Structure 1
Amino acid sequence: MSAPRTLASGFAFPEGPRWHQGQLWFSDQHDGAVIVLDPDGTVVERIAVPGGPSGMGWMPDGTLLVTSMHERRLYRRDAEGQLAVQADLSPFHPGHSNDMVVDAAGRAYAGNIGYDFNGGEEPRPTCIAAIAPDGTATIAADALDCPNGTVITPDGKTLIVAESMGNRLTAFDIAGDGTLSNRRVFAQLGDHIPDGICLDAEGAIWAASPYAGQVIRVREGGAIVDSVTIAGAKPYACMLGGADGCDLYICCASDHNPQVTVKDRTGRIDVARVAVPGAGRP
């Protein structure tokens, strides 16, 4: 593994990274835009999202889906680049809408914070909403402690979510109709508070642990088998990508308070080389 280096900087609060068609996509949440980076760190596109973007994914036809944190909506982006409401998530999300994963059928699973984090409200359990390709939304799983980063295994049979306030990764079986069942602990993480996550080809999870200043590699059962330490900032999310899938992209910022991040713009994308590529590569 190589030490992390900074690929791009000057952002407010980068989160929710995705590797898509040879580029890194991420949400600059506090700047209200999805950012697209070329592998050399050049910004090639900025997509304004009302209410601030968070989780994103793509439907089978290539349509971008992205959550709006403060509007608590799921947007889709059409071929002309215009955003339209795919689903209203406010009946399901008491806190701002957050990270999301989209399955091979175009079904989205979107979590939410569940409480007013920046306002100092006490944490309380909340849900993951499932949004069908036609925009119909239902509760997929409830009683989760701040469902955050989420991945689906390449076979489409398992969903794994970071429960940030539960200090754990939790797994569900996915039925053919998208129903989640057989809830179980994938990994209990001790003092680590997992935020954004990604899955590698060996079935291990890389999880950003912002308060530890690390991104940790975790196997099912909870063994931490590798880590990347971030200097001068906190890592909030991560994604495997690059030409061979072994570049670990890490979203970093010095603070999570929007009043600080928008002014200071210390957000950056770091990248480290790892041995095992991302899951689901050809």
Structure 2
Amino acid sequence: MVLNEIKPFMTTDLSHIGSGLNRPECVLAARDGSLYTGDWTLGIARIAPDGTTGPAVETDLIAHGFRPNGIAMTADGDFLFANMGKAGGVWRVGRRGEARPYATELDGTPIPRTNFVLVDGDRTWITISSSGRNHDRFTAEENTGQILLVQDGKVIVAAEGLNWTNELRISPDRKYLFVNETFACRTTRYDIAAGSLLSNPVRITYPGDTYPDGMAFDAEGSLWIVCVISNRLIRIAPDLSWTILFEDVNHRELDTIASAHAEARLTWDQISQSRGSRVSNLSSIAFGGPDLKTLYLGGLGNREVQVLRSPVAGLPMGHWQ
């Protein structure tokens, strides 16, 4: 397949939808035009096609101590959410009714705070950024991240020793799992073998000021990645070459953060205060719209979801059906 050549986007190409969001870390686009995102005020927020924003579920997840981060939608319309609250684990909640445990223990031990969850047919993949619950240390040596697999009612460790494990996706041909290791400044590709075993990691390494977070595949098999701090949008081709399609950053500020990261003294305060001219800490990307050519971008420091138009359609996720 010959890939479409995509011209870089400008900040002036951005529009937005929704309002009053609190840390929209992970965005899901649904076929009916709705958007859903984890939200630390609303729990899970729904943005209607007209931009109206409100809670997607009746139960007050925040009042119950949950902090939804990554979210996924099940075949019957429930939500799974990776919980950054004290209880950790992954939980399931319907539009009505209380949240209930989905994956909260591993071999009898509580699963710590989780970052992301992906429904993959009869499998579910979960990422843990730091299994030692160390969410205040952001270095290239914090290699306690894990990928968990839920299958046939069992939770197992599929991969470990990763650095700040963030979003993951399965390739369109079902052969590979891609995962972002944010503070190692890399994306790692695993082979998926029989029995869902992960093997043969191949690492795509970026410059030391590039911190990959969210990802989504397009219909041409390329992987789109957004980066916190640097607010970059990267497209990785099937041959693993990559290009930068968008950037919105104060370069002096970015240099300061990159130096702090290299010297193992990067703090959450520095990360949370970083911002570009229009966006702040891009963390999620989803293709949506009737033609799957609308890009929705979530960001930790934004109060709305950013919007771009892509010349290439996205690959529909499982919940699209």
- Bin the TM-score by the shorter chain: 0.7 to 0.9
Compute the displacement of 1:242 (Å): 1.1
- Range with bigger deviation, 59-68 or 17-26: 59-68
Task: Determine if the alignment matches structure 1 residue 237 to structure 2 residue 284.
Answer: yes
Q: Which residue of 1 aligns with 2:296?
A: 249
Aligned mate of 1:103, from 117, 120, 128: 120
What is the SS of the residue equivalent to 1:14?
Answer: coil
- Range with bigger deviation, 218-227 or 203-212: 218-227
Distance 2:189 2:110 in 1: 21
Shift in alpha-carbon separation, 1:63–1:252, aligned structure 2, 3 A:
closer
Whichever residue aligns with residue 195 of structure 2, its letter is: D
The number of residue pairs the alignment matches comes to: 266
Q: Which residue of 1 aligns with 2:52?
A: 42
Compute the displacement of 1:61 (Å): 4.1
Which has the larger Rg? 2
Give unpaired runs (5+ residues) of structure 1. 255-265
Task: Determine if the alignment matches structure 1 residue 24 to structure 2 residue 35.
Answer: yes
Q: Which residue of 2 aligns with 1:218?
A: 236
Task: Determine if the alignment matches structure 1 residue 68 to structure 2 residue 91.
Answer: no
* Alpha-carbon contact 1:196-1:207 (below 8 Å) kept: yes
What is the SS of the residue equivalent to 2:81?
Answer: strand
- TM (norm. structure 2) is 0.74
Taking the TM superposition and a 5 Å limit, the aligned residue runs for 1:159-238 are 159-185=177-203, 187-191=204-208, 192-219=210-237, 220-224=239-243, 226-227=245-246, 229=248, 231-234=277-280, 235-238=282-285
- TM (norm. structure 1) is 0.83
Compute the displacement of 1:21 (Å): 3.2
Distance 2:22 2:128 in 1: 20
Q: Which residue of 2 aligns with 1:144?
A: 162
Q: Which residue of 2 aligns with 1:3?
A: 13
Write out per-residue CA displacement over residues 44-70 of structure 1, whole angstroms, 9 at most, x where no aligned residue. 533343420112223344442212112
Query: What root-mean-square deviation, in Å, do the aligned CA atoms of Structure 1 and Structure 2 show?
Result: 2.6
- Range with bigger deviation, 140-149 or 202-211: 202-211
Compute the displacement of 1:164 (Å): 0.4
Whichever residue aligns with residue 146 of structure 2, its letter is: C
Compute the displacement of 1:78 (Å): 4.3
* Alpha-carbon contact 1:154-1:280 (below 8 Å) kept: no
- Range with bigger deviation, 122-131 or 67-76: 122-131
Distance 1:155 1:248 in 2: 22
Aligned mate of 1:83, from 99, 108, 121: 99
* Alpha-carbon contact 1:5-1:271 (below 8 Å) kept: yes
Q: Which residue of 1 aligns with 2:150?
A: 131
Q: Which residue of 2 aligns with 1:113?
A: 129
Shift in alpha-carbon separation, 1:7–1:280, aligned structure 2, 3 A:
closer
* Alpha-carbon contact 1:111-1:129 (below 8 Å) kept: yes
